[in-house]
Structure 1
Amino acid sequence: MGLLKGKVLDFSEIFAPVVKMQSIRVVLGLVDALGLEVEQMDVKTAFLHGDLHEEIYMEQPDGFQEKGKEDYVYKLVKSLCVFFRNFSDGDFIILLLYVDDMLIAGKDISRIKELKNTLSESFAMNDLGEARKILGIEIVRDRNEKKLYLSQEKYVEKVLRRFGMDKAKVVSISLASHFKFSHPLCPSTNEEKLSMKSIPYSSAVGSLMYVMVCTRPDISHAMRVVSRYLSNPERHHWEVVKWVMRYLRGSSNLRLTLGCKKLMLVGYTDSDLAGSLDDRKSTSGYMVTFAGGAVAWQSKFQKCVALSTTKAEFIASVEATKELLWLRKYNGTWSQTRKICLVCDNQSAIHLSKNSPFHSRSKHIDVRYHWIRDALDSKLMELEKIHTYDNGSDMLMKVLSWGKFEFCAR
């Protein structure tokens, strides 16, 4: 890109070149939808946050624009992790790099091989051929069915063996309603705290968090809950962690499925109301699907206390919109996404998002959350109603019955 008026800002302090799991899932969804080839390479000499010797400038990303300096650009001093190259004939190549793991996707296998040869001239690399595994995630591609699967079955089984849960009794949902959570339940005496020293609570939670982040949104709610007590867990919390492992023992073969020719970005959002017993904050949850599969999800406490279901759902919709528009801008570089839509099961929150006139019942809602109206007015996305039972994001913020949970996971 060209320099804007010759004005440059240093971007090194606020940008870390970390590729999100969303990037990997979106690219692999595109690979399957467009029938692209995807090859893998391994860098023998790993490098992280590599310094650049060339002068490269980039536009200020959303959320990092400096007020009054919107026409400035950033000088990039650290290497990025996702690279694109467009060719004059409409072809393109995508390169994903995380430390020493590399995926290269494109239509023309000869161009991919040419890039691999060029990289090998500058770095010591291993050519691993067709992509089979990335960051411990197995990639299984069924070209006949036009499906691509991401699996962590072997990793899950390894975790279960490590914590002695590989022969535990199986349960059918990731979290049950009889578990209660609040800080007063945490150990308060030295004797109680010492009794937990021998329990590998933090290690187990960390191992399960990696599963949730990569391929298993169905344990998001449970992991959000147990991770709150990492500094001072109680045996009750450890029972919840073991419950999650019991659930994974019976579902370790579940795979994240991608595969659909319709390049649509659809976000599902939902919230509970005052679910936290400690401070009565609500939980926002969203899930974004692309090319037929889930590519982004989040379960997170809201920063303020919602006074109504409408406000809680409205805040959740704003958070989902941010992720949706980030993915929209990401996709715009190399794909023609047909439709971008956010669905919500609360009609009042939808009306509040679409109607800008001031209302006394909404005056307590922080101004920053009304940003969603600008996105809708600018036609960047659509906001639609969905029936509660059809909302797949329900499992991200509350305990569900087996039938609804099974539907959300499917």
Structure 2
Amino acid sequence: MLIAGSSIEEINNLKEKLSKQFAMKDLGATKQILGMKIIRDKANGTLKLSQAEYVKKILSKFNMNEAKPSLKTKEERNHMSKVPCASVIGSLMYAMVCTRPDITHVVGVVSRNMSRPGKQHWEASKWILRYLRGSTDTCLCFLGASLKLQGYVDVDLASDIDSRKSTTRFVFTLGGTTISWALNLQKIVALSTIEIEYVAATKVGNEMIWLDSFLDELGKKQELGILHSDNKLVILKKISGSKNLADMLTKGVTTEKLKLCVASIGLLA
């Protein structure tokens, strides 16, 4: 069990009450949970979430040194039936939702074909693994700075060529480090960019309101949330594509843009 709160006295009281009802052991400050390592540096006022060991494990599990020959259609089907493509994508998804928002877009693309993956999807999955191999120690770094909540939303019109549905991507940062991110197909087939922007703003606005309420429970009340892309809780603010941190979740970006987005949301190696 992981217990979090704004008062150490209330946390200790809760643990005392629980220990009277259940056989339990106090392990102290959390060092690891759900495959994520928690690294505290009180001297520098930072807290990091790392999945370095998990990434190393999946790289080892899906050997990246095996050469694959060029295959024809029938041979490709036979070959793909023996390839653990779905397992690879599932492993990548766990890294993506926990500490690696930088692979959200590419994992989202390959995951759409998990039921019937082709050779190109397997090659794309291995490309993601190669990227992780080069950034194994990258982790989310939280600073003890001003905890200001900001959101970034981006939409891609009719990005799914099969359903013609648009994709909403968003990133929320707290004190400069991302705490919530997602990539979702919209439920409707929109006729214009303005329509998908309103749909995205509504969905992501709800996420911001929930985050605001959650932070309020933790004693970190926000004065006013800012959503970059109006209601009493959210300000919708225009931001250029070159500065939108959600851009890397929307499409393939240049190496320079990826580095800018990664550094801006608190992902550090």
Partner of 2:222: 337
The amino acid that maps onto 1:161 is: S
Residue 2 of structure 2, aligned match among 91, 102, 123: 102
Which digits, 9 at most, give the CA deviation of each residue in 1:173-231, with x for residues without a partner?
xxxxxxxxxxxxxx997x65433121001111111100001011111111111111111
Alignment of 1:157-306 (within 5 A): 157-165=56-64, 192-306=76-190
Matching residue of 1:325: 209
Match of 2:244 in 1: 391
Where does structure 1 differ by over 4 angstroms across 4 or more consecutive aligned residues?
A: none
CA shift at 1:332, angstroms?
2.3
Deviation for aligned residue 1:260: 4.0
How far is 1:322 from its partner? 1.4
Note if 1:137 corresponds to 2:21: no
Distance of 2:11 and 2:112 partners within structure 1: 44
Return the structure number with greater strand share. 1
Q: Across the two proteins, how many residue pairs are aligned to each other?
A: 257
> Percent identity among equivalent residues?
41
Q: Give the alignment's TM-score, normalised by structure 2.
A: 0.88
CA contact 2:31–2:37 (8 Å) conserved in 1: yes
> Aligned to 1:335, what secondary structure does the other structure show?
coil
Seen in structure 2, the aligned counterparts of structure 1 residues 157 and 284 have a Cα distance that, compared at 3 Å, is same
Distance 2:5 2:47 in 1: 14
Following TM superposition, by how much is the alpha carbon of 1:309 offset from its aligned partner in structure 2, in angstroms?
A: 2.6
Give the root-mean-square deviation of aligned CA atoms.
2.1
Contact 1:270 1:317 in 2 (8 A): no
Q: Distance in 2 between matches of 1:113 and 1:216?
A: 32
Shift of 1:133: 1.0
Which deviations, in whole Å up to 9, do the C-alpha atoms of 1:44-93 show, x marking residues without a partner?
Answer: xxxxxxxxxxxxxxxxxxxxxxxxxxxxxxxxxxxxxxxxxxxxxxxxxx
Pairwise CA distance, 1:341: 0.9
* 111-120 or 293-302, larger mean C-alpha shift: 111-120
Letter aligned with residue 337 of structure 1: Q
Structure number with higher helix proportion: 2
CA distance in 2, matches of 1:145, 1:384: 33
CA distance in 2, matches of 1:253, 1:385: 34
Query: How far, CA to CA, are the matches of 1:105 and 1:138 in structure 2?
Result: 20
Q: Which has the higher contact order (CA 8 A, sep 6+)?
A: 2
Counterpart of 2:255 in structure 1 is 402
Aligned-residue offset at 1:405 = 1.3
Per-residue deviation at 1:112? Answer: 3.4
Structure with the greater alpha carbon radius of gyration = 1
Report the counterpart of residue 69 of structure 2 in structure 1.
none
Tell me: CA distance 1:405–1:116, structure 2 relative to 1, closer, same or farther (3 Å).
same
